[in-house]
């Protein structure tokens, strides 16, 4: 765990969070547009097309999971899960990146506490205080769940899209 590898990990995590969030937003808009096009422009009123609304809801709800997953950086969560002896050796590397982490995630980390912190208190938040806040929040380990949920969402959205494309309504 070097400062360079931590910086690269933090930057990759920020890029992944942005990419996933925007792709989920765009898929929600695409499903809504497909539904509105089908119902209004093509005038197809088949109840089967409500699956497009379901796709919109799934991709919209998934955004909340991704936002919660990337709320606290993974390096800070790992630091909070470490034993005190390991934490002493690993914290200098995270300390080098602490100003950047606090600037990006300070408000989210401060919100994990029992009371809201003012901007001045967030600016003065130390790494040790942040580790205590993250450890006290007792957040679950999202890594295994995230991969499973992501695969499920992609499969569900693909199945809904293919079913809606292949579906032809009964002639009235």
Q: What is the pLDDT of residues 7-33, one digit of tens each?
A: 788 888 888 888 887 887 887 788 778
Identify the burial level of 161 via C-beta atoms within 10 angstroms of its C-beta, where 0-12 means exposed, 13-18 middle and 19 or more buried: middle
CB contact at 8 A, 55 and 32: no
Pick the residue with more confidence: 134 or 169? 134
Q: What is the pLDDT of residue 165?
A: 66
Q: What is the pLDDT of residue 147?
A: 64
Picking from 156, 161, 139, 160, the residue whose alpha carbon sits closest to that of residue 65 is: 139
Q: What is the pLDDT of residue 64?
A: 78
Q: What is the pLDDT of residue 158?
A: 74
For 64-73, what is the mean pLDDT?
78
Q: What is the pLDDT of residue 56?
A: 76
Q: What is the pTM of this model?
A: 0.63
**Using 50, 70 and 90 to split pLDDT, how confident is the model at 141?**
low
**Using 50, 70 and 90 to split pLDDT, how confident is the model at 169?**
low
Instruction: List pLDDT tens digits, range 81-123.
Output: 888 888 888 888 888 888 888 888 888 888 887 778 888 888 8
Instruction: List pLDDT tens digits, range 44-61.
Output: 777 767 777 777 777 777
Helix (H, G, I), strand (E, B) or coil at 12: helix
Picking from 93, 91, 70, 95, the residue whose alpha carbon sits closest to that of residue 79 is: 91
pLDDT higher than threshold 60 for residue 134: yes
pLDDT higher than threshold 70 for residue 35: yes
């Amino acid at each position: 765990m070097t400062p360079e590898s931590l910086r690269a990990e933090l930057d990759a995590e920020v890029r992944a969070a942005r990419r996933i969030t925007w792709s989920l937003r765009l898929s929600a808009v695409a499903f809504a547009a497909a539904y509105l096009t089908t119902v209004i422009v093509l005038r197809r009123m088949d109840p089967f097309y409500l699956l497009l609304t379901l796709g919109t809801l799934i991709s919209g709800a998934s955004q909340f999971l991704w936002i919660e997953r990337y709320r606290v950086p993974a390096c800070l969560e790992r630091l909070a899960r470490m034993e005190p002896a390991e934490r002493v050796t690993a914290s200098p590397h995270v300390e080098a990146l602490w100003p950047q982490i606090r600037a990006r995630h300070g408000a989210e980390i401060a919100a994990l506490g029992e009371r809201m912190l003012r901007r001045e208190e967030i600016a003065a938040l130390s790494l040790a205080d942040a580790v205590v806040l993250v450890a006290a929040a007792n957040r679950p380990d999202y890594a295994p769940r995230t991969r499973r949920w992501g695969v499920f969402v992609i499969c569900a959205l693909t199945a809904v899209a293919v079913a809606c494309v292949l579906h032809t309504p009964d002639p009235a």
